[in-house]
Amino acid sequence: MAEKTILTVDLYDNVLTEKANDFTGKVSITGTIHNSDIAERIVKARTEYRPETILNILGMADDIKIEAIAEGKSVVDGVGQWLLNFSGPLEGESPIFNSDVHRFGVTFTPGKALLKALKLLVPGFRKAKTGPVINGFTDSTTKSVSQVLTPNAPGIISGAGLLLKGDDPSVGVYFTPDGADQTPVKVNLIVSNTTSQIIIQIPALPDGQYLLSITTQAGAGYSLVKEPRTYQYPILLSVGSQPGGGEDDRPVIE
């Protein structure tokens, strides 16, 4: 019998209901894995191929899949199926495309192997500390959600418990470059701030991928807590076009 895997699920107060003792669960993300990490895992599984060779093949496979999806093909791999979709209101039988309201996206359906792996997961519930929760990030320039960062332009962070409060110097909004031992970049300009939304000016970030985080001392009912609390949004946000070879291997899922 296959071994079960226990993953931590943090319990947060359900902001959509006033019912007492009602929570929503968020999986505690354990890290980020790239094609380079996949190549290393394949090598550890005993193969005669070098990591560089595997990484090159994975990158080429990514490029071919992207090309095929953009051609309108249905792409099926060992993880699942990828299909283009189209969103936005259309008027009449000869509608006019408007990039402000119309867009192509990607639908992902998990495959049998992934669904089987999900059945082996067991939640380990824990009550989350009162603190910020990020539910999404909207780039005001491109209108993209949880995908793109436009430097020196507005961005909207949505969630709960987002009030930036407290005298600790760590309180604020940060963008940390993806990778080990990277220095976070603190946001200098907060345009507006409520418990459910923060509007910022995105710093002048160089091309790359970043993790968004918020640190605050705000507690329940606008109170202050002694120790600052941080929430890191697990989805990587990208500045600029990513280089080929699988460096940006995060699919946009709708």
Can you give the CATH number for the domain in which 113 is found? Answer: 4.10.520.10
Per-residue pLDDT at 221: 66
69 and 134 fall within a common domain:
no
- The parent domain of residue 203 ranges over 129-237
Whole-angstrom Cα distance, residue 51 to residue 49?
A: 7
Distances (CA, A) of 243 to 52, 66, 209: 16, 13, 11
The string of pLDDT tens digits covering residues 1-50 is 678 889 888 887 776 677 777 888 888 888 888 888 899 999 988 878 89
Q: What is the CATH number of the domain that holds 142?
A: 2.70.50.70
3-state helix, strand, coil in the chain (%, to 5): 15, 35, 45
Q: Are residues 22 and 96 in the same domain?
A: yes
Residue 7 maps to a domain? no
Residues 160 and 109 in one domain: no
Let me know whether 59 and 42 are in one domain: yes
User: Is 242 contained in some domain?
Assistant: no
What strands, in cross-sheet order, belong to the sheet with 75-76? 75-76, 80-87, 103-110
Relative orientation angle of helices 35-44 and 51-70, to the nearest 10 degrees:
130
- If asked whether residues 211 and 172 sit together in one domain, one would say yes
Least confident of 97-101, 205-209, 230-234: 97-101
Which value, in Å, is the radius of gyration of the alpha carbons in the chain? Answer: 21
CA atoms within 13 A on the CB side of 47: 14
> Could you tell me the pTM of the whole model?
0.72
Is 8 within a domain?
no
139 and 214 inside one domain: yes
pLDDT digits (tens, 9 = 90+) for 106-158: 999 999 999 999 999 999 998 876 678 899 999 999 888 898 999 999 999 99
What is the pLDDT confidence band of residue 241, given thresholds at 50, 70 and 90? low
Give the DSSP letter of residue 220. Answer: G
Residues 6+ away with beta carbon under 8 Å from 88: 98, 101, 102, 103
- Phi, psi angles (nearest 5°) of residue 190: -100, 115
Asked if residue 1 lies in contact with residue 119, where contact means CB atoms within 8 angstroms, the answer is no
- pLDDT, tens digit (0-9, with 9 covering 90-100), for 43-77: 988 878 899 999 999 999 999 999 999 999 999 99
Choose among 200, 231, 198, 228: nearest CA to 216: 228
Task: Report residue 113: phi and psi, to 5°.
Answer: -65, -40
pLDDT above 80 for 180: no
Q: Domain tally for the chain?
A: 2
